[in-house]
Chains A and B, each alone.
Chain A
């Protein structure tokens, strides 16, 4: 059995009365990439945002069930959301750098966690940008606005910003859907590199991407997990007819 970092059991979520996720069970292995696939509206984003409690800001959101991070329930009253989100970072679909300089974008997470040591910040910002494969492109313009970067660069900046706070898990919600093929390749290469250090959960609509980047895959349909397991297994010989139909593009 692999080393499991996140254990989801009997998860049900609601927005008001509408039941979104239904009896979801899923184990996320540590230091590997897990893909979430499924047709639009099936609850992939909702699932992802439940893992770092981003849904907490939506007043109508309700959840039942268990989500354990390293064996500890993340919805327990004594869990500090700030600490949780430090451990479980998130990269969004649309690149969303702050309207601040490139440097300040990466330093932001460190600053809000109380790091104000200039030398240390500089060191960590550089390391994060290098790790996100962006350093060479921006090293001479760290004080320029992040809004001046291309979409692909902005997304890598968002990844740099996320890894700067040294999370254990990185959630990525369709991180390439707004990017061109070259930028997409760069992000995929990056994911390959990062998986040794981080646990990555990625939502994608691109089947090839799922097979390229992930070791594990879970297929969502109407809020339920239809099939989960090794990516190779799911894409080569799916057990469920609905999975096969989806990955071969017969519906979705």
Chain B
């Protein structure tokens, strides 16, 4: 009898924990929507999303430049970070001697835990002057922010990709080598394709981190709410938009910042759905059990 009670209790506690975390997230999302919707309605959703002008003092709210800013920084960061982390992961998983790996892996994982202000501060003190000297302008730019984001998402993508590569059964590798394939051919044709779903998961997490990053981006991006003419010009991200103006926003302006949050949420959801769909589609088209 006592045992049954224990089972029952454990089950309910687990259920409660699961439900409460979901409820908390839903409450937050609900709150953001409730606060943001009035601004969306007043400005008009299309004007809000596609509006080119963000001038709170004239009650004009268009977040399109920030959408471009966020997506641009994220895309650039991924363009730099994805190849770097994949090659890094392959090196760690397949090439590096054991001792080297034992030192490098924890080091890289530690990098993922460094607070973003530190990265931002480094960017401000080192990278911004460097960019100013070598590329002209103020040094605050979309490119500068992307470079900092690259460094920030690198550890995430790299360490997840490395786990994925190492989880591929040794049998595949041996089968390939036994057929006379070289190590590199084996990596390229067998290990990497088999690890791809895991690597994509790493990229999705890195993407989430890049688009959600606020502090480091604020410190180096320049933050002008205008679509940059080139990647060397300043840009503002959606996250920065909220953080920069939250302190003094009132009334419609205040609601407009929450509406910015809604746009950010929607963007993340769309990106997640698209990437998951691509991953799923790949698995289905190549046949059950393919990867």
Mark A residues whose CB is within 8 Å of B. Answer: 52, 54, 57, 59, 82-86, 89-90, 92, 94, 96-101, 108-109, 111-113, 143-145, 147-148, 158, 161-162, 165
Contact = CB atoms under 8 A, between A and B. Distances in A.
Q: List the 5 closest pairs (A to B, CB-CB), nearest first.
A: A147-B289, A96-B171, A86-B180, A109-B179, A145-B287
A85 B178 contact: yes
Contacts of A101: 286-287
A111 B180 CA distance: 11
A158 B172 CA distance: 11
Given A92-B171, A112-B182, A148 B287 contact: yes
Contacts of B171: 92, 94, 96
Interface of B: 98, 169, 171-172, 174-182, 185, 189-190, 193-194, 286-291
Contact of B179 (A59, A108, A145, A148): A108
Given A101-B287, A108-B189, A145-B288, A57 B177 contact: yes
A82 B182 contact: yes
Contacts of B98: 59
A83 B288 CA distance: 34
Nearest to B290: A145
A68 B169 CA distance: 32
27 contacts: A54-B177, A82-B181, A82-B182, A85-B178, A85-B180, A86-B179, A86-B180, A89-B178, A92-B174, A92-B175, A92-B178, A96-B171, A96-B172, A98-B175, A98-B176, A99-B194, A99-B289, A99-B290, A99-B291, A100-B290, A112-B181, A112-B182, A147-B288, A148-B288, A148-B289, A165-B179, A165-B180
A84 B180 CA distance: 7
Contact of A98 (B180, B182, B190): B190
